[in-house]
Amino acid sequence: MENAERLLLDLVDAGHLVPMGIDGMYGRGAAFEDTLLRFDAYISRSAKDDGATLVRFPPVINRRDFERSGYLKSFPHLAGTVFSFDGTPAEHQHLLETVEAGGDWSATQKMTGAVLCPAACYPIYPTLRGTLPQNGRLFDVFSYCFRHEPSKDPARMQIFRMREFVRISDGDSVRPWRNMWIERAMELLTAIGLPAVSAVANDPFFGRGGRMLAANQRAQELKFELVVPIASEESPTAIMSFNYHQEHFGSTFGIQTSDGAVAQTACVGFGMERVTLALFKYHGMRVDRWPDSVRRVLWG
Ligand code: AMP
Ligand code: ZN
């Protein structure tokens, strides 16, 4: 059996993940959820003096903003869209009959104005159209995110939570801010016994053109990840990402600095489920047996 599948079985046996009959979608057990929320509180403590503005969005984004964001150009294969029934009583009858017969009822569904959120930071940029205050803005966001990448690896979910800090300002402030977070995050993870390593990374861009985008992203060091072996030693899993988008969102959504330049953005994202899974992987399935040093940090 593959390591990933064995880890998944252990997590299910321990009650940490509850299978829902579809790869990459699970309920979370009490100890899993408690640990995830304790890690979330630990992040908040570490960032408490930064002055970030907290906003919590539902796990959807306005379809028009999504279309403008460029996500469909880069990741059409990962996007999840929300459809709903909008038909007549006769069409309703047809819908029920098709479902009853086990058929394909997608033709009865119409696209709504909502798309599932692909990353916690996406809903914030469209709200910032216009001119920023002098030192730019800093946001704290947290959301379930959807990506259509079904897998037996428990660390590759289709729906999972991301806690992010997002900096919107000029290039001189955004890049050092991102680099500061790489250092800070390494310390945070080391203190809870996770052997994280930082690495230049790229996003999974779609298609042949995507290969060039990925190479460019790496050459410019626009994306870093902190990786930890979870299901595999050879290909460790990214538990955090640090993304520098340059002017992408600033120009897409018309955001300017107080000097009138196109704003630059960067985001720092914690993969909340992945960090929690790494904790179970490294310290065992029973939280009451975790090392004192780790418990002191998370349970205070
Ligand atoms: P990204 O926007 O791809 O850099 O993702 C931000 C963070 O979300 C990553 O560093 C991961 O920790 C987490 N993440 C990404 N994809 C998944 C997934 N399929 N399942 C669980 N966590 C994920
Ligand atoms: Zn982001």
For the segment 138-188, what is each residue's pLDDT rounded down to a tens digit? 999 999 999 999 999 999 999 999 999 999 999 999 999 999 999 999 999
> Average pLDDT in the 73-102 region?
97
Residues with CB under 5 A from ligand 2 (ion): 119, 121, 164, 267
> Average pLDDT in the 33-46 region?
98
pTM, rounded to two decimals: 0.97
What is the spatial distance between Cα 96 and Cα 99, in angstroms, rounded to a whole number?
5
Of all protein residues, the one whose alpha carbon is nearest to atom 17 of ligand 1 is 156
Residue 271 Cα to ligand 2 midpoint, Å, equals: 11
Ligand 1 binding pocket includes 274 (Cβ within 6 Å): yes
Q: Is residue 80 part of a domain?
A: no
Tell me what percent of the residues of the chain surpass a pLDDT of 90. 97
Note the pLDDT of residue 114.
98
Q: Could you give the number of structural domains in the chain?
A: 1
> Average pLDDT in the 195-199 region?
96
SS3 143: strand
What is the spatial distance between Cα 142 and Cα 63, in angstroms, rounded to a whole number?
19
- Quick check: 1 pLDDT over 70? no
Tell me the pLDDT tens digit for each residue of 246-297. Answer: 999 999 999 999 999 999 999 999 999 999 999 999 999 999 999 999 999 9
Ligand 1 binding pocket includes 241 (Cβ within 6 Å): yes
Residue 108 Cα to ligand 2 midpoint, Å, equals: 34
Q: Is residue 104 part of a domain?
A: no
> Average pLDDT in the 198-215 region?
95
Q: Is residue 67 part of a domain?
A: no
Note the pLDDT of residue 204.
95
What is the spatial distance between Cα 173 and Cα 167, in angstroms, rounded to a whole number?
9
Please provide residue 191's backbone torsions phi and psi, each rounded to the nearest 5 degrees.
-65, -20
Q: Is residue 174 part of a domain?
A: yes
Ligand 1 binding pocket includes 239 (Cβ within 6 Å): yes
Tell me the pLDDT tens digit for each residue of 108-135. Answer: 999 999 999 999 999 999 999 999 999 9
Tell me what percent of the residues of the chain surpass a pLDDT of 70. 100
Domain ranges, residue 215 = 3-62+118-299
What is the spatial distance between Cα 153 and Cα 168, in angstroms, rounded to a whole number?
34
- Quick check: 300 pLDDT over 90? no
Residue 52 Cα to ligand 2 midpoint, Å, equals: 15
Q: Which ligand is nearest to the CA of 231?
A: 1
Which CATH number goes with the domain that contains 131? 3.30.930.10
Q: Is residue 250 part of a domain?
A: yes
Q: Is residue 241 part of a domain?
A: yes
Ligand 1 binding pocket includes 161 (Cβ within 6 Å): no
Mean pLDDT of the chain: 97
